[in-house]
Amino acid sequence: MSIYLLCLALFCVGLYGVLRKRNLVKIIIGLAIIEYSVNLFFVLLGYRFRGRAPIDAQTQDILNMVDPLPQALVLTSIVIGLGVTALIISLAIRIYEKYGTFDVTRIKRLKG
């Protein structure tokens, strides 16, 4: 149970970064931490401690196998996260070119 709570703590750290930090780069780092905590949580759902790789073997018991499906899904999710992060970083670079700052309190030409 405590390991899931650690995932939640990591998620909250990321959320704090997104909501409270003023620097664009730190916001992006916060977003990355959120993504990692969610991925970690999903992998842990299918993980068994002292389990074994899910290989079809007659003599082995199915109960101590690690569930491979979350790992495959998280792989997809990591790739998606990579795409989003790359896009957002390139946006941040262009914003820096236009505004000359990474400070969100000074990047507000829009009313919101």
Partner 1 sequence: MNNANNIIPLFVIIPLLGAFLISLIGKFVKRIWVDILSGVSCFLLLSLSIFGLNILRNSASPVLVYKVGGWAVPFGICMVLDGLSGLMLLTVNIVAFFVSVYSINYMEKYTDKPKFYTLFMLMLTGMNGLVITGDLFNLFVFLEIASIASYALVAFGTEAEELEASFKYAIMGSVASSFIFVGIAFLYGFTSTLNMADIARVLSTKPGLWLTPFVAVLFLMGFGLKAALVPFHAWLPDAHPSAPASISAMLSGVLIKTLGIYALVRVFFNIIGMTGAYSSVLMFLGAISMLVGVILALSQWDLKRLLAYHSISQVGYIILGFGLATPLGILGGLFHLFNHSIFKSLLFLNSGAIDYATGTRNLQEMSGLGKKMPVTANTNLIASMSIAGIPPFNGFFSKLIIILACIEKGHIGYALAAVIGSILTLASFMKVQKYAFLGELKEKYRNIKEAPSMMKFAMIVLAVICVLGGLMLLPGLKFLLINAMDVLLQGRGYADTVLGIAAK
Q: According to the binding rule CB under 8 A, does residue 109 interact with partner 1?
A: yes
Integer Cα distance of 32 and 111 in angstroms: 27
Q: According to the binding rule CB under 8 A, does residue 35 interact with partner 1?
A: yes
Looking at residues 48 to 87 of the shown chain, list those that interact with partner 1 (rule: CB under 8 A).
69-70, 73, 76-77, 80, 83-84, 87
Q: According to the binding rule CB under 8 A, does residue 105 interact with partner 1?
A: no
Residue found under tokens 């620097």: 23
Q: According to the binding rule CB under 8 A, does residue 92 interact with partner 1?
A: yes
Integer Cα distance of 92 and 11 in angstroms: 23
**Residue 66 carries which DSSP code?**
P
